[in-house]
Amino acid sequence: VYCDKIRHLVDPPPPHLAGRISFHRLNIKNDSRLEGLIKMADLTINLAAICTPADYNTRPLDTIYSNFIDALPVVKYCSENSKRLIHFSTCEVYGKTIGSFLPKDHPLRKEAEFYVLTEDESPCIFGPIVKQRWSYACAKQLIERLVFAEGAENGLEFTIVRPFNWIGPRMDFIPGVDGPSEGVPRVLACFSNNLLRREPLKLVDGGESQRTFVYIKDAIEAVLLMIENPARANGHIFNVGNPDNEVTVRELAEMMTEVYAKVSGEPPLEEPVVDVSAKEFYGEGYDDSDKRIPDMTLINKQLGWNPKTPLKDLLETTLT
């Protein structure tokens, strides 16, 4: 449990936050202080998780425990003490899209209902058990079901957040620079690491998977609306993403190479990308979702939220 990313807010807090922050460094799975802290609070927001794809099939037990077993006491204490809970899940609970099972040239692949992901309608389709990459999504889905059940049976006031690739400054670690010295971070930090080291960006299986990216500042605005509007947020699951910022991972690599050259003044590499297999990059048991496009109807209807920042702008802010 490290707090490097927020050290500037807590050690010591800046003047405008003095007296407003009480920081407790603890591990939620084995600290007796947890229930007391939840009892003191009006609202609990649970973001504790192992949520790095490289860990899902190399540390599946830690991933399952972190995202399900270790989260159980938080849900339990909130329910028993009538405390509101905002629980962070993931867009990965959707798994694979229906469209991914159709032939690549099938006309239905272009129909939105086969690839746009809707909170209360889209099925959650995971790969086989031997593909341990889905250990994360499965654990996250099960804790969502538990939270929902606590709401239905015991009156827990809850909101579930499904982030779709939030990115921005301090959002991940770069090995040997900040955070853990080893390991494989998420895609934006992986590419940033390659750019800083003047290495080709590694595209897993050709970088054909499609993703949407939302700027962290926009996403935090959505969470603030959930906090400030409990009557409109309670009992709902919300996608928080930006469907306008959809790219393939290969396109993301090309954009980041261009933006980094602009902000750093360094010329791009002659060979900026290199293809690697999923097995080579992530190890045995990796699988992937093809496309993640969030339906934003519900959060717009309930909270009036829409993302604002275009992908190139948020990449420039993040890489600067």
Is 65 assigned a catalytic role? no
The 10s digit of each residue's pLDDT in 236-246 is 999 999 999 99
Q: Is it the case that residue 1 has pLDDT exceeding 70? A: no
pLDDT at residue number 294: 96
Structure pTM? 0.92
- How many domains are contained in the chain? 1
In tens, the pLDDT along 206-216 reads: 888 889 999 99
- Is the N-terminal amide bond of 175 cis, ω within 30° of 0? no
Q: Which of 136, 215, 260, 286 is catalytic?
A: 136
pLDDT tops 60 at residue 182: no
Confidence of residue 181 (pLDDT cuts 50, 70, 90): low
Give tens-digit pLDDT for 243-297: 999 999 999 999 999 999 998 999 888 888 999 998 888 888 788 888 889 999 9
Reported as a pLDDT band with limits 50, 70 and 90, residue 157 is very high
Range of the domain at 18: 4-319
**What CATH number should be reported for the domain holding residue 288?**
3.40.50.720
